[in-house]
Structure 1
């Protein structure tokens, strides 16, 4: 399967992790998508409006029956709500057609611009970026105190690889766990604890791909797990397999 990431327009860099393009091969094909603590909007050839994929709490299997081209935007954690005009918990483990979020006319015009003419992936991405810049300009207001708190919380969790205790994080930010959990639910789409667990899992998954014969107990400790059993539990929940099978499949 072809897959390529592109850096976003500089004016979108604070909000967008990357733009990306993919093409599924001919014939029946299935691939597993792992939770990555991001929200994506995807547009696929065929002229249909795009769709948003919310934060994922587990992996999903994506099947295609033939060649399928995709162009997409992947938002940084905590910012997609400004572009989707929706609380992110409503999208967790769900997909929503973009015409329901942006309006049918805007969604159909964008789909026509993407697929009516023969364009390169980079040209299609530029079309999407133009739409995102318009929506960013329309939003136009600076972040409130909740946005600032979420950015600080996410930065601390990411920097710790998910090892930071939620109680300690709340204390550092000077808020209650309940207040922080409510903000995460609306503006991130996951609880702080689940976000941190996925941070640890992603760190461990990356370490596995770089380590052909890991010391499992040491790997668990290096990635912020209490012990090897917690590492195994997260792989079974987030990847649908034990770490050993994930390593051989990677």
Structure 2
């Protein structure tokens, strides 16, 4: 599998983490099929593929999942920043958690179909396909901004995301609610609707992602207790639990 990420159009940078492409280049026997494990990353993606399947959005993940790649397929996709996908999908994000939805069901069959045809009817380059996706996203963003000030204002969920990410996930929901001047219950409800999962789980995934990044540094890999403390875990056992919950393996397996 060949995977690449690309920076978004400047007008999309507040909402889009990246655009990406992936290509499985040759068919494989079932016994030799490549299996890629996707870890939770607090993002929502939309994928378009050239194998005849309908384009679809993948919601927030509470655990990892595996993707087998046994046949050639080309993918072009967009990955939204946490909490930003709802603006482009036109729906609360919590119903998408740990599942996917066809883009035709979210955007309408005609708009989704036109983009699918534009992407795959002609022999375009990856860069050309990504520009088509960006143009569509820019159009949807402009329409939303023209209809409402909501696209310009930072809703509660997005302000909470910024605070959690600034703390690398090492913040309690109670402290976060106090900082934002709302009740824990109100914060949790709004966060689930606007971001897709509860703020406590979002913070755990932030902390796990930081630990995973640091673990790949050989200087830290040998001392899990120090790594746990650096990432805000109560102790080493809590670090190991998060790796089992989110990656289905121990830190040592990385």
Normalised by the length of structure 1, the TM-score is: 0.95
Q: Which residue of 1 aligns with 2:63?
A: 58
Normalised by the length of structure 2, the TM-score is: 0.93
| Partner Cα distance (1:210, 1:74) in 2 | 26
Whether the 8 Å contact between 2:45 and 2:79 is mirrored in structure 1 is: yes
In the alignment, structure 2 segments of 5+ residues that lack a partner are none
**1:47 Cα deviation (Å)?**
4.0
Compute the RMSD of aligned alpha carbons.
Answer: 1.5
Alignment of 1:188-227 (within 5 A): 188-211=195-218, 213-227=221-235
Alignment of 1:156-175 (within 5 A): 156-175=163-182
Whether the 8 Å contact between 1:43 and 1:49 is mirrored in structure 2 is: yes
Cα deviations by residue, 1:42-72 (Å, 9 ceiling, x for unpaired)? 0011343310000000000001221111100
| Partner Cα distance (1:125, 1:110) in 2 | 11
2:39 corresponds, among 34, 38, 41, to 34
**1:151 Cα deviation (Å)?**
2.1
**1:146 Cα deviation (Å)?**
8.2
Q: Which residue of 2 aligns with 1:230?
A: 238
| Partner Cα distance (1:219, 1:46) in 2 | 43
Q: Which residue of 2 aligns with 1:149?
A: 156
In the alignment, structure 1 segments of 5+ residues that lack a partner are none
Question: Structure 1 residue 75 and structure 2 residue 83: aligned?
Answer: no
**1:23 Cα deviation (Å)?**
0.8
2:53 corresponds, among 23, 26, 48, to 48
Q: Which residue of 1 aligns with 2:2?
A: 2
**1:144 Cα deviation (Å)?**
7.5
